[in-house]
Copies of this chain bind each other. A is one copy, B any other.
């Protein structure tokens, strides 16, 4: 059942894809720098810049743009959503790193340098999340008549970041980090966390891109699944699963499942989006 031809084609285009996502990421960064200028009060905007641009990059924003282009949309139609996705994840990442009184450092999380006090690390993400929604709301353009699409994308992003998305994945992590007896190499647990965190974020990113680009409901759902598998691969290879050996087969299965979702799409940038399975 897996589409081996799609898989080969993805391998071939890996380097093209890296330049595709690098160029998309550069555009997203320009968009964000304009949205978050360094201006007074610097006590606010200096850390806001730090947390917004210092957080690890995820591929979900670039995937959002790729999905938009795949269904025939223009890159700029997805730019605000891509920027918002980056900001939301940067905010949730900052809270993940926040040292709390009685929280031992979870073993599966890298130790990060804290440039600011815990107070600032607590407060600023609380400002970044609404700001992400504001960016989206401001991308409303009567000339494009895109209000309904933007409102739908806001619901998508709210759910992906919320209590049954990112926060649920973080809850699984916290729960596990507090149960000393259990190891962290439980494959089922790793897959669950990756599904909720990176999986949910990328599923959302791809679906939002398809919505904003004017995709059909069928295209939106196919791209949502594609994003879910891509995100799970990311989580397994670079997130909570990165130290676990023996997930190669799972990753390969997820690649095949992902590429299968793309089979009915025709178009110029199919290669670009296929390559996300190998990023």
* Interface set of A (CB-CB < 8 Å, partner B): 41, 43-45, 48, 88, 91-92, 95, 98-103, 117-120, 122-131, 133-134, 137-138, 140, 142, 147-148, 150-152, 154-155, 157-159, 161-164, 166-168, 170-171, 174, 178
Q: Contact: B122 with A98, CB < 8 Å? A: yes
A124 and B166 CA atoms in complex are apart in Å by 11
Residue in B closest to A125 when the chains form the complex, CB atoms = B126
Interface of A is mostly: helix
Q: Which of B131, B167, B174 contacts A163 (CB 8 A)?
A: B131
A196–B120 Cα gap in the complex (Å)? 17
Q: Are B124 and A95 in contact (CB under 8 A)?
A: no
A162 touches B123 (CB 8 A): no
Given A151-B147, A167-B124, answer yes or no on A119-B162 (Cβ-Cβ < 8 Å).
no
Q: Which residues of B contact A91 (CB under 8 A)?
A: 126
Contacts A44-B164, A100-B100 known; list 11 others, CB within 8 Å.
Answer: A44-B163, A44-B168, A95-B126, A100-B119, A103-B118, A103-B119, A119-B174, A123-B171, A127-B163, A134-B155, A142-B148
Q: Given A45-B163, A100-B100, A148-B140, are A154 and B134 neighbors across the interface (CB < 8 Å)? A: yes
